[in-house]
């Protein structure tokens, strides 16, 4: 079955073609079922491939299927070729599985929307691009998927185009991601120059053979690639687009902006683990940026009142954790957290969508409260996800987050400060998540009467997906129970072959874990307990402030008003970008380069805009005042400079 | 003294001759049968184009020279000519769209389009500066008239006048350059110039000045900064299909001659020339891109965008290796599809109420009103921006890889940065089409697209996607042509 891997992206593509071309004639029901079925077929195919892969001995779990030579230029070749190995299979399972559930959910959520078929077309197109990204066996094909998911993301953010803000949000996502893409593309170019190949196996093999740890060119390549990851996975300083991306429909936020696309950066780093292992500087950069993002995004999440924006900051923060994982060399732990996060964060967003569905699309948590009784399924699944993301023992997020935290202290690249900030952030996470639970589901409903009367549980197309993900959010972590808790961590062992070469490089360089053997056994459990205590403190504060004594937040924020305002306004980062980068850029291009350089100096005195309708008399008059002469003048100046330069230099 | 009678080999100029004869036929039909449908004229013209394509195919691999070595067709030149014929083909189809009263005499319109093409073919074939000049003038004069073809419109006339004045000005430079080159080397042929440079280098100031003036003449046609200012005015005023043809044909012809000159004179790879072209390429793409961002009129935006693309192509020329040359061909082919396609959509959307909808704002909401035109436009915009999997992405990747191979690391970094910036203004069109409500009270109704426009847009979309998804066959073809630039 492995050679049928190309079917996996093909099914969504068929969905795109049928729904894209004929969707408007098919009727909503068929469109929704067709779109979901295609993803379901992909999921089944991946599952069969997964089982086949398990039958192979671990060292042989590697397969490529080449369709054709895509770019052939001289001795450089890039192929359209799919890669099946444990890492890509895990990603495919997560992506197709979560996508399938969210597609079903969308059938109910998008019910009656006039852009129904367009929505499913974009959504299938997204899954297609995402599958290209994770099955690519070379950097260029990965880039195709990389751009493709971005494109779908912009289209879906601006899906409800009636609102100008949505178009603005889509464009913001695009511009910020272009900065990331710039780095990613340059990284690929440097790979081409250095290795004369973009194929993963060739590049990683050559890198491991030719370069030792710390080679400057590898650091350049890996940092450039990471700039791409910063954009796509919303890390400091390129995270600003993700909160605005919440303008899109909620299933999109769940699928693209929480579970799948935004984790592409983490996947890329894990995929290129050999290159990153060769560059400790890049690794440190990733870990530091990851932990800083985790912390700052969590603080911003604490002050949000919009439930979706709060979840967006939470996503940024959790992505930060994943980068801490891969940044300290615990690639499997990073991917593990990616997977559990996909379950519980998709669930949280879908729960938020269910609430919005009931509350006439209101997202303001100050208007909510007491929804527990009226929406029991939504409440209980939301709570499961909250317990998971907070890291309560027994829930999926606990295993993955603790693995990352432990590795960030004990691993070969571990560091006490990274660990400490990570632990504090875990407390903040528990605080803002339980704050949300208390504000929405407990206490009294604060909404207007006409909205309050309509509050109801969502239809079954929405609640069944909630339940499925609810189960996964609870048990999803059991495939990765660490040794210290009596498990054998099969998840990590499954991924081992992918990261083997990195381990060899590390061993050859004498990089060993800081804490191992006896001291590890003594330390690991107490540290786990410490994290749990901090999490409980966070929950306790949330309980105190938002359920027990709701007047407290007002009093406390007044006491630390400056700090609160700073955080509440998201550290003014958007405003800073606006003043320092966006406005000057616009001013430079508009008033300097165009109006001054091109129009005043180069174009002479021509008015460049008002040419559309212009009377003949005016034409002649303007012509006589001489702007053609000015064109000619610049022409001559150009010639003089050229001659002067060539002759006298 | 023996008079050597040069061997005249008409088969060497058969494609150009075919195009010219077709042009005359179309003119005559238009003259004598005034009532004739313009579709018929376009079809006659297209038949001529197909015949000349066939002749080029026949000449493939044969390296036919003629007229005493003044013209020659190696595969590299033939590939260029084929691209230009495809461009003219698309432009002819697109021009079937215009509202009735805009072109009074279609015979002249198609005749002149074909004459312009024949000029380009002559120019590209020329192994001799005089032939290049001859072709350039046939091209230019046809384009001056075509630019001003919308006689009732002030901006069309203004554009024609500007184009003519500046074109004549630049021709003066070109001709003076040729004169200086002849004066110092005693030869008009590229071969003669090459052997002169090999013997003397760039020591003679007059010769250097001649080369520079010649290059400036080409730079004007290719619209390099600072010889570009005519472009937005002229593109805006010219009939849209003509602007589209100019942006590929006139530009590409200049590149073909430029490459031939650089290949024949190896000494251009010296440091000072390299730096000069490096700066020229960077200036051209940067000014083009940055100024395009603030344009409100879509034709002006596309004009600045075409300036930027000339900058990218110049990067490939600068690379100076085989890969660079085949990348230039590949990019030009890609550019033909995506740019003619983009202008085609502009032309189609611009025809309602006899007032051109050229503001980008007026594209708001058309994604749902005219889904096919909008989808095509989105494909062209993404391709121009270099988003995979389109021809524009592969083309840029190819160009920049060639430049990297030749060691121009910083230029490539700055070029990629440019491509990133450019995405912003291309996306503006997509955002307007798909993410914004139409302007109040400005919903425009369009007639159904004619078959010509539909076919041209379909071909362009297929071309863009084919070259993006299956680029390798075309790449290998171009690579073979670039390996052997046999004739000098």
State the DSSP string of A432-498: HHHHHHHHHHSS---S-HHHHHT--PPPHHHHHHHHHHHHHHHHGGGGG--GGGT---HHHHHHHHH
For residue A623, pLDDT over 50 is answered with no
What is the predicted pLDDT for the residue at B339? 94
Contact with chain A for residue B322, Cβ under 8 A: yes
Contact with chain A for residue B272, Cβ under 8 A: yes
Q: What average pLDDT does range B98-109 have in this prediction?
A: 67
Locate B106 and state its tokens.
Answer: 């279609």
- Give A100: exposed, middle or buried? Use CB within 10 Å, 0-12, 13-18, 19+: buried
Locate A6 and state its tokens.
Answer: 């190309």
Query: Which residues have C-beta within 8 Å of that of residue B75, sequence separation ≥ 6?
Result: B60, B61, B63, B480, B481, B484
* Å between A311 CA and nearest CA of chain B: 25
Contact with chain A for residue B108, Cβ under 8 A: no
For residue B253, pLDDT over 60 is answered with yes
Contact with chain A for residue B297, Cβ under 8 A: yes
Q: What average pLDDT does range A303-309 have in this prediction?
A: 87
Closest CA to B111 of B19, B201, B179, B199: B19
Q: How far apart are the first and last CA of chain A?
A: 66
d(CA B384, CA B404): 21
What is the predicted pLDDT for the residue at A618? 43
Q: Between A603 and A385, whose confidence is greater?
A: A385
Angle between helices A200-210 and A164-195 (to 10 degrees): 50
Q: What is the DSSP string of B56-93?
A: HHHHTTT-EEETTTTEEE-HHHHHHHHHHHHHHHHHHH
Cβ contact, residue pair A151, B170, below 8 Å? no
Instruction: Residue B424: list chain A partners with CB under 8 A.
Output: 174-175, 178
For residue B436, pLDDT over 80 is answered with no
Contact A83, A135 (CB under 8 A): yes
Of A161, A181, A603, nearest to B436 by CB-CB distance is A161
Q: Helix, strand, coil proportions of chain B in percent (round to 5)?
A: 80, 0, 20
**What percent of chain B has a predicted confidence (pLDDT) above 90?**
39
d(CA A328, CA B105): 73
Residues A293 and A333 grouped into a single domain: yes
What is the predicted pLDDT for the residue at A617? 36
Q: Between B271 and B412, whose confidence is greater?
A: B412
Give, for B282, the enclosing helix (H) or strand (E).
Answer: helix B271-293
For residue A110, the tally of other CB atoms under 10 A from its CB is: 21
Least confident of A80-94, A301-315, A320-334, B27-41: B27-41
Cβ contact, residue pair A619, B236, below 8 Å? no
Cβ contact, residue pair B435, A642, below 8 Å? no
Q: How would residue A109 be classed by pLDDT, with cut points 50, 70 and 90?
A: confident
Closest CA to A18 of A33, A6, A5: A33
Cβ contact, residue pair B229, A638, below 8 Å? no
For residue A306, pLDDT over 80 is answered with yes
Instruction: Residue B236: list chain A partners with CB under 8 A.
Output: 611-612
For residue A516, pLDDT over 90 is answered with no
d(CA A240, CA A224): 19
End residue of a domain, out of A570, A598, A620: A570
d(CA A170, CA A161): 10
For residue B48, pLDDT over 70 is answered with yes
Domain residues for A605?
577-648
pLDDT per position as a tens digit, A170-189: 778 888 888 888 899 999 99
What is the predicted pLDDT for the residue at B391? 93
If contacts are CB pairs under 8 Å, which of residues 402-421 in chain B contact chain A?
Answer: 402, 404-405, 409, 412-413, 416-417, 420
Within a domain: residue A290? yes
d(CA B287, CA B305): 10
Within a domain: residue B275? yes
Beta pairing partners, A82 = A65, A136
Closest CA to A391 of A381, A401, A382: A401
Does this model's pTM top 0.95? My answer is no
Locate A1 and state its tokens.
Answer: 């079955």
Q: Between A194 and A453, whose confidence is greater?
A: A194
Of A73, A148, A158, nearest to B398 by CB-CB distance is A73
What is the predicted pLDDT for the residue at A112? 79
What is the predicted pLDDT for the residue at A421? 92
Cβ contact, residue pair A608, B300, below 8 Å? yes
**DSSP 8-state symbol, A138:** B
d(CA A146, CA A184): 10
Cβ contact, residue pair B155, A612, below 8 Å? yes
Q: What is the DSSP string of A355-415?
A: HHHHTTT--BGGG---HHHH-HHHHHHHHHHHHHHHT-TTSHHHHHHHHHHHHHHHSTT--
Question: Which residue of A lies nearest to B274 if distances are taken between CA atoms?
Answer: A646
Cβ contact, residue pair A643, B208, below 8 Å? yes
Q: What average pLDDT does range B428-434 have in this prediction?
A: 85
Of A74, A593, A643, nearest to B290 by CB-CB distance is A593
What is the predicted pLDDT for the residue at A591? 65
d(CA A198, CA A192): 6
Contact with chain A for residue B99, Cβ under 8 A: no
Within a domain: residue A131? no
Cβ contact, residue pair A73, B212, below 8 Å? no
d(CA B296, CA A612): 11
End residue of a domain, out of A537, A570, A603: A570
Least confident of A324-338, A405-419, B301-315, B323-337: A405-419
Residue among A113, A168, A628, A632 with most chain B CBs within 10 A, to mutate: A628
d(CA B110, CA B96): 10
Residues A596 and A565 grouped into a single domain: no
Of A72, A602, A616, nearest to B476 by CB-CB distance is A72
End residue of a domain, out of A507, A540, A570: A570
Within a domain: residue B3? no
**Helices of type H across A233-375:** 241-244, 250-254, 264-271, 273-277, 280-302, 307-327, 331-358, 371-374
Residues A416 and A464 grouped into a single domain: yes
Instruction: Residue A158: list chain B partners with CB under 8 A.
Output: 431, 434-435
Contact B85, B117 (CB under 8 A): yes
d(CA A432, CA A444): 19
Q: How would residue A558 be classed by pLDDT, with cut points 50, 70 and 90?
A: confident
Query: Which residues have C-beta within 8 Å of that of residue B407, sequence separation ≥ 6?
Result: none
* Total domain count, chain B: 1
Beta pairing partners, A77 = A72
What is the predicted pLDDT for the residue at A619? 41
Residues A594 and A474 grouped into a single domain: no
Cβ contact, residue pair B226, A179, below 8 Å? no
Within a domain: residue B373? yes
CA angle A443, A444, A448 (to 5 degrees): 145
Question: Which residue of B lies nearest to A151 if distances are taken between CA atoms?
Answer: B387
**What percent of chain B has a predicted confidence (pLDDT) above 70?**
93
Within a domain: residue A309? yes
Residues A513 and A633 grouped into a single domain: no
Question: Which residue of B lies nearest to A600 if distances are taken between CA atoms?
Answer: B229
* Å between A186 CA and nearest CA of chain B: 7
Quickly tell me which residue has 């559930």 as its tokens: A101
Max Cα-Cα span within chain B: 81
- Residue A237 preceded by cis peptide, ω within 30: yes
A-B C-beta contacts closer than 8 Å: 185
Residue among A635, A637, A645, A647 with most chain B CBs within 10 A, to mutate: A635
Strand pairing of B71-73 and B64-66?
A: antiparallel
**What percent of chain A has a predicted confidence (pLDDT) above 90?**
25
Backbone angles phi, psi at A545, to 5 degrees: -80, -30
Closest CA to A119 of B434, B426, B374: B434
Cβ contact, residue pair B166, A181, below 8 Å? no
Within a domain: residue A9? no
For residue B342, pLDDT over 90 is answered with yes
Within a domain: residue A362? yes
What is the predicted pLDDT for the residue at A599? 55
Contact with chain A for residue B477, Cβ under 8 A: no
Within a domain: residue A76? no
Q: What is the mean pLDDT of chain A?
A: 83
Q: How would residue A606 be classed by pLDDT, with cut points 50, 70 and 90?
A: very low
* Å between A529 CA and nearest CA of chain B: 48
Within a domain: residue B88? yes
Least confident of A83-87, A432-436, B103-107, B343-347: B103-107
Residues A609 and A494 grouped into a single domain: no
Question: Which residue of B lies nearest to A647 if distances are taken between CA atoms?
Answer: B205
Least confident of A117-131, A598-612, B136-150: A598-612
* Å between B321 CA and nearest CA of chain A: 11
Distances (CA, A) of A524 to A256, A407, A484, B98, B412: 35, 10, 8, 77, 49
Least confident of A218-232, A517-531, B238-252: A517-531
- H helices, E strands: number in chain B: 19, 2
Q: How would residue A230 be classed by pLDDT, with cut points 50, 70 and 90?
A: very high
- Residue B389 preceded by cis peptide, ω within 30: yes
If contacts are CB pairs under 8 Å, which of residues 16-55 in chain B contact chain A?
Answer: none
For residue A568, pLDDT over 50 is answered with yes
d(CA A235, CA A240): 9
Locate A101 and state its tokens.
Answer: 């559930």
Quickly tell me which residue has 């919308």 as its tokens: B150
Residues A582 and A487 grouped into a single domain: no
d(CA B229, CA B223): 8
Contact with chain A for residue B176, Cβ under 8 A: no
Residues A526 and A638 grouped into a single domain: no
* Å between A570 CA and nearest CA of chain B: 26
Q: What average pLDDT does range A92-111 have in this prediction?
A: 90
What is the predicted pLDDT for the residue at A87? 92
d(CA A145, CA A260): 12
Residues A480 and A586 grouped into a single domain: no
pLDDT per position as a tens digit, B461-485: 999 999 999 998 888 888 888 776 6
Instruction: Residue B479: list chain A partners with CB under 8 A.
Output: 73-74
Q: How would residue A612 be classed by pLDDT, with cut points 50, 70 and 90?
A: very low
Distances (CA, A) of B218 to A238, B74, B82, B206, B255: 43, 21, 20, 19, 8
Residues A497 and A592 grouped into a single domain: no
Of A140, A158, A645, nearest to B435 by CB-CB distance is A158
Within a domain: residue A428? yes
Strand pairing of A76-84 and A63-73?
A: antiparallel
Residues A479 and A437 grouped into a single domain: yes
Residue among B291, B379, B428 with most chain A CBs within 10 A, to mutate: B291
Q: What average pLDDT does range A107-129 have in this prediction?
A: 87
* Total domain count, chain A: 2
Cβ contact, residue pair B431, A628, below 8 Å? no
Contact A403, A339 (CB under 8 A): no
Contact A156, A249 (CB under 8 A): yes
For residue B110, the tally of other CB atoms under 10 A from its CB is: 30
Cβ contact, residue pair B420, A179, below 8 Å? yes
For residue A181, the tally of other CB atoms under 10 A from its CB is: 25
Closest CA to A336 of A427, A403, A261: A403
Within a domain: residue A64? no
d(CA A194, CA A76): 12
Cβ contact, residue pair B475, A632, below 8 Å? no
Contact A124, A19 (CB under 8 A): yes
Q: What average pLDDT does range A278-289 have in this prediction?
A: 91
Contact A37, A122 (CB under 8 A): no
* Å between B182 CA and nearest CA of chain A: 18
Cβ contact, residue pair A619, B227, below 8 Å? no
Q: How would residue A597 be classed by pLDDT, with cut points 50, 70 and 90?
A: low
Query: Which residues have C-beta within 8 Å of that of residue B9, sequence separation ≥ 6?
Result: B64, B65, B66, B67
Distances (CA, A) of B179 to A100, B185, B204: 72, 10, 14
Domain residues for B37?
10-483
Of A175, A192, A642, nearest to B276 by CB-CB distance is A642
Of B166, B327, B398, nearest to A631 by CB-CB distance is B166
pLDDT per position as a tens digit, A327-357: 998 899 999 999 999 999 999 999 998 888 8
Cβ contact, residue pair B431, A589, below 8 Å? no
Angle between helices B409-435 and A164-195 (to 10 degrees): 150
Residues A597 and A627 grouped into a single domain: yes
Q: How would residue A13 be classed by pLDDT, with cut points 50, 70 and 90?
A: very high
What is the predicted pLDDT for the residue at A338? 92
**DSSP 8-state symbol, A597:** I
- Residue A534 preceded by cis peptide, ω within 30: no
């Amino acid at each position: 079955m492995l050679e049928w891997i190309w079917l996996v992206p093909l099914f969504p593509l068929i969905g795109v073609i049928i729904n894209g071309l004929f969707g408007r004639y098919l009727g909503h029901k068929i469109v929704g079922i067709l779109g979901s079925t295609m993803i379901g077929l992909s999921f089944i195919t991946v599952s069969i491939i997964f089982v086949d892969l398990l039958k192979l001995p671990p060292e042989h779990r590697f397969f490529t299927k080449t369709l054709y030579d895509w770019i052939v230029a001289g001795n450089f070749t890039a192929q359209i070729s799919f890669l099946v190995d444990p890492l890509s299979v895990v990603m495919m399972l997560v992506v197709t599985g979560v996508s399938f559930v969210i597609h079903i959910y969308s059938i109910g959520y998008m019910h009656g929307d006039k852009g129904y078929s367009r929505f499913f077309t974009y959504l299938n197109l997204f899954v297609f691009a995402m599958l290209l990204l994770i099955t690519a066996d070379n950097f260029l094909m990965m880039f195709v998927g990389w751009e493709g998911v971005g494109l779908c993301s912009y289209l879906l953010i601006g899906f409800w185009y009636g609102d100008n803000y949505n178009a603005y949000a889509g464009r913001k996502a695009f511009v910020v991601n272009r900065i990331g893409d710039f780095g990613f593309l340059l990284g690929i170019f440097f790979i081409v120059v250095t290795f004369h190949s973009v194929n993963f196996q060739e590049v990683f093999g050559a890198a491991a053979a030719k370069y030792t740890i710390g080679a400057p060119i590898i650091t350049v390549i890996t940092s450039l690639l990471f700039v791409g990851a910063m954009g796509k996975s919303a890390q400091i300083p390129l995270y600003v687009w993700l909160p605005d991306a919440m303008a899109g429909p909620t299933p999109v936020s769940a699928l693209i902006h929480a579970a799948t696309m935004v984790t592409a950066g983490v996947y890329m780093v894990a995929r290129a683990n050999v290159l990153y292992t060769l560059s400790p500087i890049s690794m440190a950069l990733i870990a530091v940026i990851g932990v800083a993002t985790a912390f700052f995004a969590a603080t911003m999440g604490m002050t949000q009142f919009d439930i979706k924006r709060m979840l967006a900051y939470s996503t940024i923060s959790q992505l930060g954790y994943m980068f801490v994982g891969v940044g300290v060399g615990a690639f499997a732990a990073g991917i593990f957290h990616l997977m559990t996060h996909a379950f519980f964060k998709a669930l949280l967003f879908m729960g938020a969508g269910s609430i919005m569905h009931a509350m006439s699309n209101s997202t303001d948590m100050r208007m909510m409260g007491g929804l527990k009784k009226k929406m029991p399924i939504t409440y209980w699944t939301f709570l499961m996800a909250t317990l998971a993301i907070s890291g309560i023992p027994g829930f999926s997020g606990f295993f993955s987050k603790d693995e990352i935290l432990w590795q960030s202290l004990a691993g070969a690249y571990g560091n006490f400060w990274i660990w400490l900030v990570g632990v504090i952030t875990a407390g903040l996470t528990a605080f803002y998540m339980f704050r949300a639970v208390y504000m929405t589901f407990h206490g009294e409903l604060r909404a207007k009467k006409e909205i309050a009367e309509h509050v109801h549980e969502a239809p079954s197309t929405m609640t069944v997906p909630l339940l499925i993900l609810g189960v996964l959010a609870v048990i999803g972590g059991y495939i990765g129970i660490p040794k210290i808790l009596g498990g054998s961590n099969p998840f990590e062992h499954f991924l081992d072959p992918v990261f083997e070469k990195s381990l060899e490089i590390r061993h050859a360089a004498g990089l060993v874990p800081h804490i191992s053997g006896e001291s590890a056994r003594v330390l690991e459990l107490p540290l786990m307990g410490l994290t749990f205590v901090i999490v409980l403190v966070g929950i306790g504060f949330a309980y105190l402030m938002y359920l027990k004594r709701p007047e407290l937040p007002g009093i406390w924020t007044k006491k630390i008003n400056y700090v609160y305002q700073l955080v509440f306004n998201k550290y003014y980062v958007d405003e800073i970008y606006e003043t320092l980068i966006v406005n000057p850029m616009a001013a430079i291009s508009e008033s300097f380069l165009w109006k001054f350089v091109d129009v005043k100096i180069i174009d002479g005195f021509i008015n460049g805009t008002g040419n559309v309708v212009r009377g003949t008399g005016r034409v002649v008059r303007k012509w006589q005042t001489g702007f053609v002469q000015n064109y000619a003048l610049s022409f001559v100046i150009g010639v003089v400079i050229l001659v002067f330069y060539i002759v006298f230099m | 003294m023996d008079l050597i009678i040069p061997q005249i080999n008409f088969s060497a100029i058969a494609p150009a001759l075919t195009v010219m004869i077709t042009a005359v036929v179309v003119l005559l039909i238009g003259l004598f049968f005034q009532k004739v449908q313009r579709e018929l004229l376009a079809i006659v013209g297209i038949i001529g184009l197909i015949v000349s394509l066939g002749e080029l195919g026949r000449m493939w691999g044969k390296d036919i020279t003629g007229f005493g070595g003044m013209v020659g067709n190696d595969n590299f030149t033939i590939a260029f000519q084929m691209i230009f014929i495809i461009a003219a083909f698309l432009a002819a189809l697109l021009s079937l769209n215009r509202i009735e009263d805009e072109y009074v005499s279609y015979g002249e319109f198609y005749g002149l389009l074909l004459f312009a093409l024949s000029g380009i073919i002559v120019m590209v074939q020329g192994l001799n500066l005089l032939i290049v000049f001859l072709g350039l003038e046939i091209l230019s004069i046809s384009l001056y008239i075509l630019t001003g073809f919308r006689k009732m419109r002030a901006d069309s006339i203004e554009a024609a006048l500007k184009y003519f004045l500046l074109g004549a000005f630049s021709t003066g430079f070109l001709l003076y350059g040729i004169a200086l080159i002849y004066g110092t080397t005693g030869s008009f042929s590229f071969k003669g110039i090459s052997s002169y440079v090999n013997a003397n280098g760039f020591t003679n100031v007059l010769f250097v000045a001649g080369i520079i003036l010649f290059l400036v003449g080409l730079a004007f046609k290719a619209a390099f900064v600072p010889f570009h200012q005519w472009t937005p005015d002229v593109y805006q005023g010219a009939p849209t299909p003509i602007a589209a043809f100019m942006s590929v044909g006139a530009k590409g012809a200049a590149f073909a001659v430029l490459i031939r000159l650089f290949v024949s004179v190896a000494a251009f790879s010296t440091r000072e020339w390299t730096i000069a072209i490096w700066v020229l390429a960077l200036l051209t793409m940067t000014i083009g891109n940055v100024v395009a961002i603030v344009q409100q009129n879509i034709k002006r935006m596309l004009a600045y965008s075409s300036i930027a693309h000339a900058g990218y192509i110049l990067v490939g020329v600068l690379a100076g290796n085989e890969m660079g040359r085949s990348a230039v061909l590949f990019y030009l082919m890609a550019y033909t599809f995506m740019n003619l396609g983009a202008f085609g959509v502009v032309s189609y959307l611009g025809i309602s109420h006899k007032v051109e909808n050229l503001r980008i704002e007026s594209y708001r909401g058309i994604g749902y009103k005219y889904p096919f035109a909008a989808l095509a436009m989105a494909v062209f915009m993404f391709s121009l921006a270099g988003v995979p999997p389109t021809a524009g992405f592969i083309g840029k990747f190819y160009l920049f890889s060639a430049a990297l191979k030749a060691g121009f690391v910083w230029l490539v970094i700055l070029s990629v940065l440019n491509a990133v910036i450019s995405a912003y203004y291309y996306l503006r069109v997509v955002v307007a089409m798909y993410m914004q409500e139409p302007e109040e009270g400005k919903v425009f109704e369009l007639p159904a697209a004619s078959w010509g426009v539909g076919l041209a847009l379909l071909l362009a979309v297929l071309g863009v996607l084919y070259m993006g998804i299956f680029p390798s066959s075309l790449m290998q073809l171009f690579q073979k042509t670039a390996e052997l630039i046999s004739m000098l």
